[in-house]
Amino acid sequence: MTMSTYLEAGRRAVIEEMERDASVWALGEDLGRGGVFGQYKGLQEMFGTGRIADTPISEACIMGAAVGAAMTGTRPIVEMRFSDFALCAVDELVNQAAKARFMFGGQMRVPLVVREPVGMWRSSAAQHSQSLESWYTHIPGLVVVAPSTPADNLGLLKAAIRCDDPVVYMEHKNLWGLEGELPEGDHMVPLGKADIAREGRDVTLVTWSGMRQGCLKAAETLASDGIEAEVIDLRTLWPWDRDAVMASVEKTGRLLVVHEAVTVSGFGAEIAASVAEALHFRLKAPVSRLGAPRIPVAYAPTMEDEARVSPARIVAAVRKTMQPAEVS
């Protein structure tokens, strides 16, 4: 085991996969200077300008070129800087990458990874703070991954690079500096498998990405009141680990889905509905969701915090779920 940041873990994943497979390459803006957050620092020196390619500010062409390059025997890592900017390349991802294999009758695959950092950190305002993962879970053909620990960022990014499907890979900007232990060797985390971040008997918190830390903090507070929350970090949103979630809610009888994204039409709705459909008669309380209000993220901290799902808000939502059901 070695200690590493979440950012460094992602960098190690790219290095290991580029060393293992000569068809892997990365393209995006400013990669030669390490990328906007330093995720590619030193990689151009290691692998050359061909395999760590600096590109114009042309998101549509970065994504579209990756689709063409993936059809032509390479495995591109697409860097979008911010998930917000990936919206300039939605046709290339949704109409092209996600559809090509199916609509061409399985003649080829589009093995690419789109790295698009998500989430709120500090005063980045409305165009650099969004969490739009639910959009991509809606698109057949795409895999959607949202890692929350250094070890998972290593193992999931490696798995995403080896996957033959187009993968939307959403790292959280606020986690770049998070430290944790990394296993030695070829550490792979399977796509589609959740991680039980904390065991508990009373309530299941299903979460991912930046909210894992918030849920774990909330769980500590709740434990001091005698409420034992189980925290499930989905890690992969499509496909999501239905078995892990169902098993946990069967045990606890209560579900709260916590995500940073806007609650309305967030991916929490899919999980809540699926649990309600499958386990209606085993539930001790209605399923519930906690996410952001349907407002753009503001710049000033006072207003920005109105969009932030804090540990205190998670605690309050769990307490509400734990109240005895009122029959009306």
Partner 1 sequence: MTEGPGLRRDNFDWERFLELLGLMHRIRAFEEEAIAGQKEGLVLGAIHPSIGQEAVAAGVCGNLETADLMLSTHRGHGHTLAKGADGLAMMRELFGRKGGTCGGKGGSMHIADFGVGMLGANGVVGANIPIATGAAHALKLQGSRQIVTCIFGDGAVNRGPFMEGLNWARVFDLPVLFVCEDNNFSATTRTREMTGGAGAGARAESLGIETTEVDGNDLTAVDAAARAAIDAVRAGQGPRFLTCHTYRMTGHTSVDPAAYRPAQEVEEWRGNDPIARLEVALRMAGIEDAQLTELHRSEAAAMAEIARTARETDWPEAAGAFTDVQDVGDPRERAY
Binding site for partner 1 (CB under 8 A): 25, 50-51, 53, 55-56, 58, 60-61, 63-74, 76, 91-92, 95-96, 100-108, 140-143, 163-165, 191-192, 238-239, 242
Question: Which residues, including other chains, have CB under 8 Å from residue 36's CB and lie 6 or more apart?
Answer: 29, 30, 81, 82
Q: How many helices (H) does the chain have, and how many strands (E)?
A: 12, 14
Least distance from partner 1 to the Cβ atom of residue 273, Å:
11
Least distance from partner 1 to the Cβ atom of residue 209, Å:
19
How much helix, strand and coil, in percent to the nearest 5, is found in the chain? 45, 20, 40
Question: Which residues, including other chains, have CB under 8 Å from residue 60's CB and lie 6 or more apart?
Answer: 88, 89, 91, 92
Nearer to partner 1, 8 or 59 (CB): 59
Nearer to partner 1, 25 or 176 (CB): 25
Least distance from partner 1 to the Cβ atom of residue 56, Å:
6
Distance of alpha carbon 208 from alpha carbon 146, whole angstroms: 6
Nearer to partner 1, 3 or 22 (CB): 22
* Contact indicator for 18, 11 with CB cutoff of 8 Å: no
Nearer to partner 1, 94 or 315 (CB): 94
Nearer to partner 1, 53 or 216 (CB): 53
Least distance from partner 1 to the Cβ atom of residue 285, Å:
25
Chain-centroid distance of CA 305 in Å reads: 21
Q: Is 187 tagged catalytic?
A: no
Least distance from partner 1 to the Cβ atom of residue 35, Å:
19
Distance of alpha carbon 69 from alpha carbon 241, whole angstroms: 31
Distance of alpha carbon 288 from alpha carbon 321, whole angstroms: 8
C-alpha closest to that of 100 among 166, 16, 156: 166
Tokens of 46: 């290691």
Tokens of 91: 């046709």
* Contact indicator for 295, 306 with CB cutoff of 8 Å: yes
Which amino acid type is present at position 251?
K
Distance in angstroms between the alpha carbons of the first and the last residue of the chain: 54
- Three-state DSSP at 299 gives coil
Distance of alpha carbon 137 from alpha carbon 131, whole angstroms: 12
The catalytic residue among 128, 172, 187, 259 is 128
Nearer to partner 1, 105 or 226 (CB): 105
Least distance from partner 1 to the Cβ atom of residue 222, Å:
32
Residues serving a catalytic function are 128
